[in-house]
Amino acid sequence: MSAQPQPSPEIRVQSRHGLGVLCGIGAGVWLGAAEAPTKLVHAGLSPYAISLCMVAGVFTARWSVPTLLKGTRSVFRDLGRNPQLIPFAILAGMLWAVANTLTVFAIRDVGLAIAFPLWNTNSLIGILWGRLLFGELKGASAANIFKVLLGTIAIVAAAIMLGFSTMHGGGVHPTHALNGILAALGASLLWGSMYIPYRKAYLSGMNPLSFVTIFTVGELVTMFALVLAFDGGLHAAVFHSSVVTPMLFWLFLGGFVWVIGDLFQQYATKYLGIGRGIPLSNTNQLWGLAWGALVFGELAHADATHRLLVVGGSLAMIAGAMAVSTAIATERESASTHEAIERECDRYGLDRTHVIHAYNGVAQAEDKREWWDWLILLGAAGVFIGLAVQARVPALLMNYAWTAVLTVILIASAVVCGWGLHKRTRFS
């Protein structure tokens, strides 16, 4: 029997690029929805308490979702092949935890409308790190460089327009404005730098599902340390206040939604690189605005100018995303990526064949689920059910019809992205 013909390198690059674009757009849909629980900052909870509760939900999801998709045996085998990446994963988790806490401070001090576009400038930082450390866009055509840079700038500009579209009436108190702006910019720097360990991991052949499992250890440990150091220690309200318990389900749910979006974002980073993956996932502000305007009525009293900003910002963000998504890597740019893979293999003595197959998303053999995998999944489900029983619907006006519509879009995007990853790579 003759062997099956192998696709050409150009076809493989295009297939990988298309999958990365699909995941980047899916990431934007889910990450935008995850911002809704941040509204609970006005319920009297401290930024540290909100961030810790969300990270606890993230921790629960980080272990249950990879277990469901691949099983723990696959995760730990992957970690065993790349033990040098475990400290990088923990470091990335620590950066995320601090950045997430800074965003809650920023929202409290200057509002989501101003804070969101400021921390979304992490896409520009990501392009810089990608070029300096991993040779991204090295050898790229002038047209691709133009598309990525112009598309990223358009997305950032659109984020600013969408941010200003929600500002009508009132204003930001000048006493807190500087602190809020600095917090948002600090989050941008940390989130832009967080992708350095991610990209390093994927160039070494590590599966995103494995990397994020260890990543969450750094998140949770860092958040506990921040609460103990700055929010009252063991006497912090998050451990004792009766106000926290009814809110936990919603914060855990926000963390879970964020994890799904982040997983798609990591596959986008793996298959597109930092410079292309982050801008696409940063279209989350468009979806965050949809939740704010359609579900929570944030634009109900906006005037014509603010509505024009919404339309203009939305069109600019779509145009920016289209520019980035059509910048398919050329042969010379792909060669620079393989040079980065070779450096990682030489540095850590990795199996080149395995690393290249893993990076290209070649499907690996499925592992049998162990009995403890089902215990992990049952435990995670039990946590959410237990918190749901004690939950109280926040005192927020909501349009339930639009909530249903956007929820359907969430589920549909997860099905499409999940099907694409499973069919093309078996989540490799």
Of 334, 330, 12, the C-alpha closest to 144 is 330
Say what the pLDDT of residue 44 is.
63
Match 């969450």 to its residue by tokens: 216
Q: How far apart are CA 399 and CA 349, in angstroms?
A: 56
- Report domain extents, the chain: 9-425
Residues 6+ apart with CB under 8 A from 386: none
Distance CA 198, CA 211 (A): 8
CA 192 – CA 121 distance, rounded (Å): 8
Taking a C-beta distance cutoff of 8 angstroms, is the pair 391, 248 a contact? yes
Residues 6 or more apart whose Cβ sits within 8 Å of residue 68: 377
Task: Name the residue with tokens 């070649």.
Answer: 362
Angle, vertex CA 318, rays to CA 316 and CA 323, nearest 5: 95
Task: Report d(CA 19, CA 423) in Å as an integer.
Answer: 11
Please count the residues of the chain.
428
Q: Burial code of 264-279, b = ≥16 C-beta within 10 A, e = fewer?
A: bbbbbbbbbbbbbbbb
Asked if 120 contacts 282 with a C-beta cutoff of 8 angstroms, the reply is: yes
DSSP labels, 14-29: HHHHHHHHHHHHHHHH
Closest of 208, 188, 190, 210 to residue 199, by C-alpha:
208
> What does the radius of gyration of the chain's CA atoms come to, in whole angstroms?
21
- Give the pair of three-digit tokens for residue 71: 């099983």
The dihedral built from the CA positions of residue 123, 127, 130 and 132, taken in this order, carries a sign that is negative
The answer to whether the beta carbons of residues 24 and 277 sit under 8 Å apart is yes
| Residues sharing a CB contact under 8 Å with residue 288, sequence separation 6 or more, in sequence order | 31, 32, 33, 35, 112, 116
**pLDDT value for 154:** 87
Between CA 281 and CA 119 the distance in angstroms is 13
Mapping DSSP to helix (H, G, I), strand (E, B) and coil, where does residue 46 land? coil
Cβ contacts of residue 113 below 8 Å, gap of 6+? Answer: 163, 164, 165, 166, 167
**Cα dist. 198→96, 188, 192, 352, 384 in Å?**
12, 16, 11, 19, 28
**Which structure tokens are listed for 295?**
């579900």
d(C-alpha 359, C-alpha 361), whole Å = 5
pLDDT in tens, the chain (428 residues): 444 444 555 556 677 888 999 999 999 999 988 876 656 545 567 778 888 888 888 888 888 888 888 888 888 888 888 888 899 889 988 998 888 888 878 877 777 667 777 787 888 888 889 888 888 888 888 888 899 988 888 888 887 777 776 665 544 455 567 788 888 889 989 988 988 888 888 888 888 888 888 888 888 899 889 888 888 888 887 787 777 778 888 888 888 898 899 999 989 988 888 888 888 988 887 888 888 788 878 777 777 887 788 888 888 888 888 888 888 888 888 888 888 889 989 988 888 888 888 887 776 666 677 889 999 999 999 998 998 898 877 666 778 899 899 999 999 999 999 999 988 888 87
Residue 147: both structure tokens together: 């598309």
Rounded CA-CA distance 374/77 in Å is 18
Burial-class residue 413 by CB neighbours within 10 Å (0-12, 13-18, 19+).
buried
Q: Report DSSP letters for 276-311, one per residue.
A: HHHHHHTTHHHHHHHIIIIIS-TTTT--HHHHHHHH
